[in-house]
Homo-oligomer: A and B are copies of this chain.
Amino acid sequence: MPDLSSTPRTTLRRHSERGVADREALHAVLDAGLVCHLGVVADGAPRVLPTAYARAGDLLYLHGSTANATYRAADGRQVCVTVTHLDGLVCARSVFHHSINYRSAMIFGTARLVTDPAERAEALRAVTEHLTPGQWSYARRPTRKELAATAVLAVPLDEASVKIRDGGPLDDPEDCLAGVWAGVVPVRMVFGEPEPDAALRPGTAAPWHIRRYRGRDTTGRSA
């Protein structure tokens, strides 16, 4: 596997101690996320779109509508995809060192609009299963017409950087002498109690893959 930080733009010039250069760390950040931010250049200006995604090996699949102009603008062009997890508010003894704990991955690559029906179906399966594991085999599969209305972008995971900040505040020694509280307020995403659709047929129970969300956070831990 090539090293991830092999280009000037993925080499961290600041806080290089927060850089993580291995592929395993990249996969961990991507696999833990639900929404990414896709950056494209449209008419010379940047455009940042939140979108669903999934990792399939060393490819990232992004999923949208064929009517989405940003997706069409991205085909064959350089894109940047960023996934960020906010993990905590880092409260320092000085405002200057106030910070956040986070994990983020930034991927640079040339996007390809997936045209092969089989790859598009596989990408849709990957995105559905990434968002909601178990849903692909539970819900009705897409028809040929539905697949044709689905736009999928593929971005290779060859050029990427991962940045992680964790732990407590990094205060100046003289500030630590003051009786000021410092520490971290943890932040995480949690799932709530599944809410049945109003038009649900009476007596339709939620399947296990939905029931298990209750009281879990996005890492699968008990909330």
Which residues in A have some Cβ–Cβ distance to B below 8 Å? 9, 13-14, 34-35, 37-50, 52, 65, 67-69, 78-82, 84, 86, 89, 91-96, 98, 100, 102, 104, 106, 108, 124-125, 128, 131-132, 135-136, 138-143, 146, 149-150, 168-169, 171, 175-201, 203-207, 210, 213, 218, 223
Contact = CB atoms under 8 A, between A and B. Distances in A.
B13 A67 contact: yes
Contact of A84 (B37, B179, B218): B37
Contacts of A143: 96
A146 to B, nearest CB: 4
B95 A142 contact: yes
Task: Classify the interface of chain A: helix, strand, loop or mixed.
Answer: mixed
A89 B218 CA distance: 12
A64 to B, nearest CB: 9
26 contacts: A9-B43, A35-B84, A35-B86, A39-B39, A39-B80, A41-B45, A50-B104, A94-B139, A95-B128, A95-B135, A95-B141, A95-B142, A96-B146, A98-B128, A168-B199, A169-B197, A179-B203, A179-B204, A181-B196, A181-B205, A182-B196, A184-B194, A186-B194, A187-B192, A189-B189, A190-B190
A180 B139 contact: yes
Contacts of A104: 50
Nearest to A137: B95
A73 B50 CA distance: 22
B46 A41 contact: yes
Given A186-B195, A188-B190, A190-B223, A48 B80 contact: yes
Contacts of A139: 91-95, 98, 180
Residue of A135, A139, A142 with most partner-chain B CB within 10 A: A139
Contact of A200 (B9, B34, B183, B189): B183
A158 to B, nearest CB: 14
Contacts of A146: 94, 96
Contacts of A108: 45
